[in-house]
Amino acid sequence: MLEISIGVSLIILCGGVVNLVNMFCESSYSRNTKDRGEEDQLGMPLDAIDHRLTEVQDVMIALSEKIDGMEERGRI
């Protein structure tokens, strides 16, 4: 079951990295096409990253609690 947890964690982290790269590429493209202030360019992507990381953390905590509960019941 530990292997499954590690696999799920790696998939979630890879998805986050892909989203981060996409956001970086989009922001660098928009920097070249539009004249915006630095605060807008840095603030919005960082807020989006923070929101996504919070969601990932919530999912990982829920999975951990579920696995702990299953171990206590002796299902694993």
CA atoms within 13 A on the CB side of 20: 12
12 phi and psi angles, rounded to 5 deg: -65, -45
**What is the model's pTM?**
0.42
Angle at CA of residue 8, ends 7 and 9, nearest 5°: 90
Structural tokens at position 59: 């999912």
The pLDDT mean for the chain works out to: 78
pLDDT grade for 51, boundaries at 50, 70 and 90: confident
Phi-psi region of 9 (alpha: psi -120 to 50; beta: other; left: phi over 0): alpha
pLDDT beyond 70 at 22? yes
